[in-house]
Structure 1
Amino acid sequence: MFDDTTRRQRAVSDLVAFTLTFAIIVSGIGFVYVSGFDALGDLRDGEKANSADRTMQGIAETYEEIHEEDIPGRSLEIELGGSSIRTVESRLVVRVNDSAPTESTMYERTLGPRALVLDSQGVPTTFVYEIGGLFRLGREGQLLRHRPTFECTDDRATLSLISLRGNISLGGQTSVVLVGQHVDEGSEKLFPGPDPSSNQYFQPTEAGNVTIDVSQMAASDAWKQYFSRSGWEESGRDGEFYCKVDKPGDDGGTVFLRRTVIELSTIY
């Protein structure tokens, strides 16, 4: 038999145990609620970024069709969903040297291709479409989402560029039709072609190497990573890469430079 003191001690012990158990249950519910809410938020933000990814890939593929198939133009409806899209300035320097030991410059041009940038709402993820390439910049690093039409081999280099025109700056919970139209003015074969400073006509097989400077591009770091992994050599200057196309004993390699200009506009 238990005396009164023992019963009171046991009652207090049971009460303490119940209180602790209840506190653990409540804190557990709170943890599940908070962590579950955070997980849902991460899923929502991730889907927004993926939706923006699909949108920008659609734009890149559409502009490649205009570029490669000489299509007059295309329109795409974009659901911004709180994200923002805009055009920004960028600059690309291209230089072609001959195959002589001195590597004299045959052709040099500074281009202003502009870039189309989309910032995904609520997520530190930015998409940059520039000269035909699309990059996803964020926590995952610098991911190439659409490959440009570039080539670098031992005897051939090709740069097939897409330049954008037009000023766009949109954002908010809205949808917009983005129009891209092929523009004849500025769309041209840059090399081989006539020398702007003389009556000479450059031949594609006279080249020794082609050099590009991407240090002033909108996605300069991503472009540096791309060219360093695509057969181009670093020149020693920040953001400058070259493709050597003349094998030892050859007179020269082949270089082709081409540009298509696409005018951007919007319809609400």
Structure 2
Amino acid sequence: MSRHDPNPPRSFHTDERAISEVVAFILVFGIILSSVALLSVTGFQAMEDYQENEQLRNAERAMDALAENFNDVLQYSGIEERDSELSLREGTVTTGSGGTELNISVDGTPIKNRYDSEFYDPDTETVTLGEFRYEAGSETIAYDGGAVVREGETGSAVVRQPQVMCSPERDRAVISLVALNATERSIQSSDGLQFTLTPTDRTVETIDDSSTVSITVEESSADRAWEEGVLDRNGWNSGTCDNVDEVLVMVVEATIEY
């Protein structure tokens, strides 16, 4: 008498299909996990990039407002000091007495030979504007002689124009600069910080019967911003202003405390 086995052996094809389903599940699950991980990484990176860009945009606006306030010392000689606040948001503020150096000449004669200032380098006959910059990541936003410039890995650009005017139609050129004599120091903070600008000296020179005034950037981390964004616009041609009868040069020397 034959006996019937209630659990017949599984065929080879059945086992192969089960293995294939397991492998497929593992592959799909792995793809899902990889996709989630990739999205998490790119999402966090995009969020960090957005936060950094927003931080820099806020810093630009804040530095522009600070420059507008500080530049009052170029307009009003009676100002004793100006206060402004920056929210650092983990950024770093650095001050110093170095920075951009400009060579200003009238009819080929350096302005240094017409009057003296401690901010003129006796060896290079340049005007040194001092340093006041905010850094976040690889980007820098700086107050530079009355201008505001932004510097990064791709170069530099002007956020606010300095008070440097070339007006041949009015037969006049005006160069007004703030030169900082600041202590060499840096500070990083997440809070707001108040900065006080105090004018210490003001030199004004008016040169009549002139013809040409020129400004050359001798040294600057923002040389592209100055050369292309300032000295090749608004009447200037590669740093030269021609056909003017009068040149007014003013340098306001100031300290900055915080």
Q: TM class by shorter-chain length? A: 0.7 to 0.9
Task: Report the TM-score, using the length of structure 1 for normalisation.
Answer: 0.76
> Is contact 1:87–1:117 with CA below 8 Å preserved after alignment?
no
Could you say if the C-alpha distance between residues 216 and 9 of structure 1 is closer, same or farther in structure 2, counting changes exceeding 3 Å?
A: closer
Deviation at 1:243, TM superposition (A): 1.1
Larger radius of gyration: 2
Equivalent of residue 228 in structure 1, options 221, 225, 232? 232
Report the residue type matching 2:215 in the other structure.
Answer: I
- Give the distance between the partners of 1:43 and 1:21, measured in 2 at CA: 32
Report the residue type matching 1:260 in the other structure.
Answer: V
Deviation at 1:43, TM superposition (A): 1.9
Deviation at 1:165, TM superposition (A): 2.2
1:87 aligns with 2:96: yes
1:118 aligns with 2:122: no
> Is contact 1:84–1:169 with CA below 8 Å preserved after alignment?
no
Equivalent of residue 254 in structure 1, options 230, 241, 246? 246
Equivalent of residue 18 in structure 1, options 25, 36, 54? 25
Deviation at 1:208, TM superposition (A): 0.6
Task: Report the TM-score, using the length of structure 2 for normalisation.
Answer: 0.79
What do you get for the CA RMSD once the two structures are aligned?
2.3
Alignment partner, residue 136 of structure 1:
150
1:180 aligns with 2:205: no
Deviation at 1:62, TM superposition (A): 1.0
Alignment partner, residue 38 of structure 2:
31
> Is contact 2:97–2:182 with CA below 8 Å preserved after alignment?
no
Equivalent of residue 244 in structure 1, options 242, 245, 252? 242
Give the SS at the match of 1:82. Answer: coil
Could you say if the C-alpha distance between residues 17 and 135 of structure 1 is closer, same or farther in structure 2, counting changes exceeding 3 Å?
A: same
Equivalenced residue count is 230
The list of structure 1 runs, each at least 4 consecutive aligned residues, that deviate by more than 4 angstroms after superposition, is 106-109
> Is contact 2:156–2:222 with CA below 8 Å preserved after alignment?
no
Equivalent of residue 84 in structure 2, options 64, 76, 88? 76
Could you say if the C-alpha distance between residues 24 and 180 of structure 1 is closer, same or farther in structure 2, counting changes exceeding 3 Å?
A: same
Question: CA deviation digits over 1:9-55, x for unaligned, max 9?
Answer: 22122222212211111111111111112112212222332232233
Q: Percent identity?
A: 23
Alignment partner, residue 116 of structure 2:
none
Moved more, 161-170 or 129-138: 161-170
- Give the distance between the partners of 1:129 and 1:177, measured in 2 at CA: 15
1:145 aligns with 2:159: yes
Could you say if the C-alpha distance between residues 219 and 142 of structure 1 is closer, same or farther in structure 2, counting changes exceeding 3 Å?
A: closer
- Give the distance between the partners of 1:106 and 1:222, measured in 2 at CA: 23
Alignment partner, residue 141 of structure 2:
127
Question: CA deviation digits over 1:181-209, x for unaligned, max 9?
Answer: 233x2x132223xxxxxxxxxxx3x0010
Could you say if the C-alpha distance between residues 107 and 14 of structure 1 is closer, same or farther in structure 2, counting changes exceeding 3 Å?
A: closer
1:43 aligns with 2:50: yes
Alignment partner, residue 181 of structure 2:
165
Deviation at 1:139, TM superposition (A): 4.1
Deviation at 1:166, TM superposition (A): 2.6
Report the residue type matching 1:62 in the other structure.
Answer: N
Structure 2 gap ranges (5+):
1-9, 114-124
